[in-house]
Amino acid sequence: DVKVTQSSRYLVKRTGEKVFLECVQDMDHENMFWYRQDPGLGLRLIYFSYDVKMKEKGDIPEGYSVSREKKERFSLILESASTNQTSMYLCASSFDGVTNEKLFFGSGTQLSVL
C-alpha cells in the first residue's frame, strides 16, 4: 500500500515562527500536494509539485512556500506563522498527472499558531 507520512500529527507554534511541515511518500509518485482543511471551507490547495525542484501555486499560496529537493519528500514552509494559518494540513501524492488522478493522503498535521 502507498504510504504518505507526515512528520507531525500535532504542532503548536508561536506567531512569527518559521514552521516546517514535512511529507514523505514511499511509492515513487511524481506528484505531491499540500492542502489545508478548515471547517466550512473544505480542502484548499496551497502548492503542488509535478517533479523534483518544480512547484506550482495552488489556490491559496500566500504566506507559504514549498521545497522538493528529492522525489519522495515535499516540505511546506510557513515563513512567519500567523494565527490565521491555524489549520489541518494534509499532504497528498499521486502517480502521474494524466487523468483520473487518485490522491493518497497522509493523516494530517493539526497546526495551532498562538
Please provide the size of the chain in residues: 114
Maximal C-alpha separation, the chain: 41
Q: Encode burial over 31-46: b for 16+ CB neighbours within 10 A, e otherwise.
A: bbbbbbeeeeeeeebb
**Nearest residue (CB) to other proteins, 17 versus 56:** 56
Closest distance of CB 44 from other proteins, Å: 8
* Nearest approach, Cβ of residue 15 and other proteins (Å): 26
Q: Which is nearer to other proteins, 11 or 103 (CB)?
A: 103
Enter the C-alpha cell of residue 19.
514552521
Q: Which is closer to other proteins, CB of 38 or CB of 79?
A: 38
Do the Cβ atoms of 87 and 103 come closer than 8 Å?
no
**Which residues of the chain form contacts with other proteins (CB under 8 A)?**
4, 31, 40-45, 48, 58, 90, 92, 97-108
Is residue 31 within 8 A of residue 104, CB to CB? The reply is no
For other proteins, the closer of residues 14 and 91 by Cβ is 91
Quote the least distance from Cβ 106 to other proteins, whole Å.
5
Q: How far is the CB of 80 from other proteins (least distance, A)?
A: 27
